Amino acid sequence: MNFDFDTYFLNLVIVPLIFAFFGLVVLLSNITKHYRNRPTQSDIKYSWMTRRMISSIGTFIFCIILSLWIGKFSLVLDNENKTETISGEILSIEEAEPRAKIKFEGEYTYQKHITINGEEYYIMTIGDFEIGDNVSIVYLPHSKIILSIQEEE
């Protein structure tokens, strides 16, 4: 089973960055509105504008935290041409957190963490592999993302 580096990069780096950028746009637009229409203390709009600023700061912080949680930014350090290969037995298969969906071969899949020879790796989908199977994987060294997994005889 082979996986595309660009699909990983799009879903684990680009999408979280777009979400963080959205939070930044919300924050900056409310800052400019706030200072362009700077009300006086006695203005009734002041409390409304203050609440809007607080909510935009909250939105920005939420977007940043969510981006850091769903993103796997160590992928930026990897190059799809510089991979490593190992062989071993699958010791465990666990759901990856957060449970983000990635489209693979026309279907949405949930990512997994698999342990091979005591090291944990990230994979788009595990397919028909089970605990105890002997496999050979090609992975990215910094992010530990699997690009290819094959059953060994």
Supply 133's token pair.
């199977």
pTM beyond cutoff 0.75: no
- Please tell me the predicted confidence (pLDDT) of residue 136: 93
Predicted pLDDT of residue 87 = 93
Residues 27-52 have pLDDT tens digits of: 888 877 766 666 555 555 556 667 77
Domain-by-domain residue ranges, the chain? 5-73, 77-151
Residue numbers of the chain with a pLDDT score lower than 50? none
Angle at 88 between CA 138 and CA 99, to 5 degrees: 60
CATH number (2.60.40, 3.30.2450, 1.10.10, 2.40.50) of 77-151 reads 2.40.50
pLDDT of residue 89: 92
Distance CA 115, CA 132 (A): 11
Q: How far apart (Å, rounded) are the C-alpha atoms in residues 99 and 146?
A: 17
